[in-house]
């Protein structure tokens, strides 16, 4: 019976099931992301429309499908639901599938599925509120330590089982690695935060990030914390650079449009649309100005999406102008979860 359950033919059936279960969990994570920072229960009451308050029926609450069927709108009042709900459901399902695909039939699979869920909640609450809930970091760390204890008896698949510095495969080595990792990871970020605030005279790293590294250290060990931090900094620089570039380009375009006037065919429309532009200049419509292409429109959509997110954050936290670091850490942690061993072996030339 055991053989038929683990039959290779059925692996992809299970993979599909695990992914679909992930979509439903994504739906639940959406609730967590919205309710935990607001201090609400994540169990009761059931989901309801945030605009008209109508409870959402089960057939309107099917992950992915309901969003597509209702085109992201409330069935009753027609108010628009954020595309984020869809993205979180999709992302959760995909990561459930990837985790099962990578860690197969081991105890590590359910443990890392929980880990991925914690990282998703951390990412989106940090993006929205600049908060990583203690439920994620502190309780997550406790969960990781219990898992590391169990990994001493069922080490297969566990990142923490073969980690530095306690390689020796004794039943206590995963737990010893987890404790070392949690302490070292949190200390590392704390030290960087202190150094950063001395160097830049402002808070460089929040205490939420310190607690997040408590979780990462307990789950992944000391070395992987270093890889996560390095990778997160790289991703952060790339995304930050891209966002500055997008802002510069959009400012440049806005200025150029302001000078040369509308691309449209009548000057009145132009004067109305561009109140900053000098009316005299505006009337000399440059007919050689190219019409906006589809690419331009997509670009503008991306720009306005960035601007909306930026404005929201600024409104929520006046005086803060940088992006939270948590989401980068979470993305890096997920990459290291799957590829950490390869990165480590590559760096230390052990292939
Ligand atoms: Zn509604």
Ligand 1 centroid distance, CA of 300 (Å): 29
Residues sharing a CB contact under 8 Å with residue 175, sequence separation 6 or more, in sequence order: 145, 148, 149, 151, 152
Out of 81, 105, 129, a domain closes at 105
pLDDT computed for residue 91 by the predictor: 97
Out of 77, 105, 133, a domain closes at 105
Ligand 1 centroid distance, CA of 151 (Å): 46
Task: Tell me if 154 is assigned to some domain.
Answer: no
pLDDT computed for residue 306 by the predictor: 46
Task: Tell me if 155 is assigned to some domain.
Answer: no
Ligand 1 centroid distance, CA of 79 (Å): 6
pLDDT computed for residue 258 by the predictor: 77
Ligand 1 centroid distance, CA of 65 (Å): 18
Number of domains observed in the structure of the chain: 2
Ligand 1 centroid distance, CA of 83 (Å): 15
**CA distances (Å), 143 to each of 44, 111, 219, in order?**
24, 9, 9
pLDDT computed for residue 263 by the predictor: 46
Residue 231 CB: number of other CB atoms within 10 A? 21
**Alpha helices per DSSP H over the chain:** 2-5, 11-35, 65-69, 83-103, 108-129, 134-151, 173-200, 207-220, 222-260, 267-273, 279-283, 294-316, 326-347
Q: List the chain residues with pLDDT less than 50.
A: 1, 262-289, 302-303, 306, 313-321
Angle at 43 between CA 39 and CA 47, to 5 degrees: 90
Ligand 1 centroid distance, CA of 55 (Å): 9
Task: Tell me if 125 is assigned to some domain.
Answer: no
Task: Tell me if 295 is assigned to some domain.
Answer: yes
Task: Tell me if 216 is assigned to some domain.
Answer: no
Task: Tell me if 218 is assigned to some domain.
Answer: no
- Checking 337-345 for CB contacts under 8 A at 24+ apart, the result is 337/99, 337/112, 337/115, 337/116, 337/159, 337/219, 337/220, 338/98, 338/102, 340/159, 340/220, 340/223, 340/224, 340/227, 341/159, 341/162, 343/227, 344/223, 344/224, 344/227
Out of 105, 130, 162, a domain closes at 105
Ligand 1 centroid distance, CA of 59 (Å): 15
pLDDT computed for residue 287 by the predictor: 44
Ligand 1 centroid distance, CA of 81 (Å): 9
Burial 37-66 (b: 16+ CB within 10 A, else e): beeeeeeeeebebeeeeeebeeebeebbeb
pLDDT computed for residue 351 by the predictor: 53
Ligand 1 centroid distance, CA of 24 (Å): 21
Task: Tell me if 199 is assigned to some domain.
Answer: no
Cα–Cα distance between 247 and 266 in angstroms, integer?
A: 29
Residue span of the structural domain in which 52 resides = 1-105
Ligand 1 centroid distance, CA of 78 (Å): 6
pLDDT computed for residue 292 by the predictor: 53
**CA distances (Å), 35 to each of 127, 269, 282, in order?**
14, 45, 49
Ligand 1 centroid distance, CA of 214 (Å): 40
pLDDT computed for residue 18 by the predictor: 97
Around ion ligand 1, residues with a beta carbon closer than 5 Å are: 49, 51-52, 74, 76-77
pTM tops 0.85: no
Task: Tell me if 296 is assigned to some domain.
Answer: yes
In a 3-state reduction of DSSP, which class is residue 266?
Answer: coil
């Amino acid at each position: 019976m055991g053989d038929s359950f683990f039959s290779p033919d059925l692996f992809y059936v299970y993979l599909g099931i695990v992914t679909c279960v992930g979509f439903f969990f994504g739906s639940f994570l959406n609730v967590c992301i919205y309710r935990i920072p607001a201090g609400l229960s994540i169990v009761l009451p059931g989901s309801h429309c945030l605009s008209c308050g109508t409870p959402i029926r089960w057939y309107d609450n099917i992950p992915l499908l309901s969003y597509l069927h209702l085109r992201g709108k409330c069935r009753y009042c027609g108010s628009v639901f954020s595309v984020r709900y869809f993205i979180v459901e999709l992302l959760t399902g995909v990561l459930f599938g990837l985790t099962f695909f990578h860690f197969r039939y081991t105890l590590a699979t359910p443990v890392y599925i929980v880990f991925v869920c914690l990282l998703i909640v951390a990412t989106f609450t940090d993006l929205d509120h600049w908060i990583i809930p203690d439920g994620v970091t502190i309780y997550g760390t406790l969960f990781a330590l219990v898992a590391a204890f169990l990994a001493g008896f069922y080490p297969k698949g566990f990142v923490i089982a073969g980690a530095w510095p306690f390689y020796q495969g004794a039943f206590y080595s995963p737990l010893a690695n987890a404790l070392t990792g949690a302490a070292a990871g949190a200390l590392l970020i704390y030290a960087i935060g202190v150094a950063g605030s001395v160097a830049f005279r402002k808070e460089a790293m929040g205490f939420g990030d310190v607690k997040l590294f408590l979780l990462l250290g307990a789950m992944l060990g000391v070395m992987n914390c270093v890889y996560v931090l390095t990778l997160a900094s790289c991703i952060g620089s790339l995304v930050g650079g891209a966002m500055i570039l997008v802002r510069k380009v959009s400012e440049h375009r806005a200025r150029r449009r302001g000078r040369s006037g509308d691309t449209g065919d009548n000057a009145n429309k132009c004067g109305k649309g561009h109140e900053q532009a000098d009316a005299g200049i505006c009337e000399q419509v440059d007919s050689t100005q190219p019409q906006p292409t589809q690419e331009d429109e997509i670009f503008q959509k991306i720009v306005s999406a960035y601007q909306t997110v930026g404005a929201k954050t600024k409104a929520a936290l006046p005086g803060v102008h940088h992006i939270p670091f948590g989401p980068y850490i979470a993305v890096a942690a997920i990459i290291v979860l799957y590829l950490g061993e390869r990165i480590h072996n590559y760096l230390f030339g052990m292939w």
